[in-house]
């Protein structure tokens, strides 16, 4: 197994089938180690389901969920080398910022001096130094997502799953948060699977793209290729016209 190796941790869904009882999902796809892969597709195409299969909140009917080469398909979420951030409700309302982050180190919150130091450093890294005693309700939406990212930092897992984490934030704040993710990624080189409906978000921080349609992978490639006229027809149809429509290559990116 190659967790945290220099080459990073690839994630592969190998002929994974799954069903909520009706229409089946079938995923056969690899997410490159240490890259940010944007996952896009229309509502109901299966983006969250795919992340849930990687995280362990859903179990495949058949196939393998390979993380760093080892099959985690039957393992519980807590045993997987993965962190996940959702659109909201990432925090426990009755716990302070500091304790919410501390959960990333110890689910029972038995924290050592080293753990406390790691929590303080992570809060500083995401711009929340001085707010460690606040409750989640005393923070803005963006600050709450920063707390969730701080917890990701102290968990220090090689795979990060982001399920529309900034969808409820305004455009400028969303860009700030995306840049923070890109900076953290540059430091830690986690393998990031990033579900988003926003083409500009995928364009800003994504390197690879996986496009889902109708419960399966319809197209894969680099983000750069997806945003050219040569990008897949189904993707161009999905994003429509506008500044991020097909052929718009001159849009500022955080990183290229
Ligand atoms: N717990 C569940 N029980 C039954 N069906 C579900 C469940 N969760 C999702 N589904 C169905 O599975 C399909 C895929 O859902 P999923 O949430 O993965 O889509 P998505 O691409 O993430 O959508 P969105 O962009 O709207 O978040 C949808 O048809 C949805 O109704």
Nearest-CA residue for atom 28 of ligand 1: 44
- Distance of alpha carbon 215 from alpha carbon 221, whole angstroms: 18
Nearest alpha carbon to residue 217 among 9, 12, 21, 77: 12
36-41, strands of its sheet edge to edge: 70-71, 62-67, 11-19, 24-31, 216-222, 208-213, 36-41, 191-195, 159-163, 82-85
- pLDDT, tens digit, 9 for 90 and up, residues 124-180: 999 999 999 999 999 999 999 999 999 999 999 999 999 999 998 999 999 999 999
Q: State the Cα angle at 14 between 165 and 55, rounded to 5°.
A: 30
Contact 239, 246 (CB under 8 A): yes
Distance 94 CA to ligand 1 centre (A): 29
Instruction: Enumerate residues lining ligand 1, CB below 6 A.
Output: 20, 41, 43-49
CATH superfamily of 11-239: P-loop containing nucleotide triphosphate hydrolases (3.40.50.300)
Using 70 as the pLDDT threshold, list the residues of the chain that sit under it.
Answer: 1-6, 242-243, 245-256
Q: State the Cα angle at 91 between 88 and 95, rounded to 5°.
A: 155
pLDDT number for residue 242: 67
Task: Catalogue the E-assigned strands of the chain.
Answer: 11-19, 24-31, 36-41, 62-67, 70-71, 82-85, 159-163, 191-195, 208-213, 216-222
Distance 135 CA to ligand 1 centre (A): 31
| Ligand 1 atom nearest to CA at 50 | 18
pLDDT number for residue 6: 59
pLDDT number for residue 251: 46
Distance 220 CA to ligand 1 centre (A): 21
Nearest-CA residue for atom 16 of ligand 1: 46
Distance 43 CA to ligand 1 centre (A): 8
pLDDT number for residue 232: 87
pLDDT number for residue 228: 87
Q: How far is Cα of residue 232 from the mean position of the Cα atoms in its chain?
A: 23
pLDDT number for residue 256: 39
Distance 251 CA to ligand 1 centre (A): 31
Contact 55, 77 (CB under 8 A): yes
Nearest alpha carbon to residue 146 among 114, 184, 108: 184
Predicted structure pTM score: 0.92
């Amino acid at each position: 197994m190659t967790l945290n190796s220099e080459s990073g941790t690839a994630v592969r869904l190998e002929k994974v089938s799954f069903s909520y009882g009706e229409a089946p999902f079938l995923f056969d796809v690899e997410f490159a180690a240490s890259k940010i892969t944007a996952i896009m597709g229309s509502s109901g195409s299966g983006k969250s389901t795919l992340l849930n299969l990687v995280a362990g909140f859903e179990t495949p009917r058949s196939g393998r969920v390979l993380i760093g080469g080892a099959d985690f398909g039957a393992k519980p979420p807590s045993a997987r080398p993965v962190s996940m951030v959702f659109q909201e409700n990432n925090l426990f309302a009755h716990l302070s910022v500091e304790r919410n982050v501390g959960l990333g180190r110890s689910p029972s919150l038995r924290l050592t001096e080293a753990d406390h130091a790691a929590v303080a450093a992570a809060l500083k890294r995401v711009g929340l130094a001085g707010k460690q005693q606040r409750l989640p309700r005393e923070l803005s939406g963006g600050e709450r997502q920063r707390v969730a990212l701080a917890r990701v930092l102290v968990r220090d897992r090689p795979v990060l799953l982001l399920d529309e984490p900034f969808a409820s934030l305004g455009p400028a704040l969303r860009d700030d948060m995306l840049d923070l993710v890109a900076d953290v990624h540059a430091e830690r080189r986690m393998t990031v699977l990033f579900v988003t409906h926003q083409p500009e978000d995928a364009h800003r921080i994504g390197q690879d793209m996986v496009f889902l349609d109708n419960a399966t992978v319809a197209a894969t490639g680099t983000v750069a290729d997806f945003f050219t006229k040569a990008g897949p027809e189904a993707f161009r149809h999905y994003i429509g016209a506008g500044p991020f429509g097909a052929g718009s290559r001159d849009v500022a990116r955080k990183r290229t």
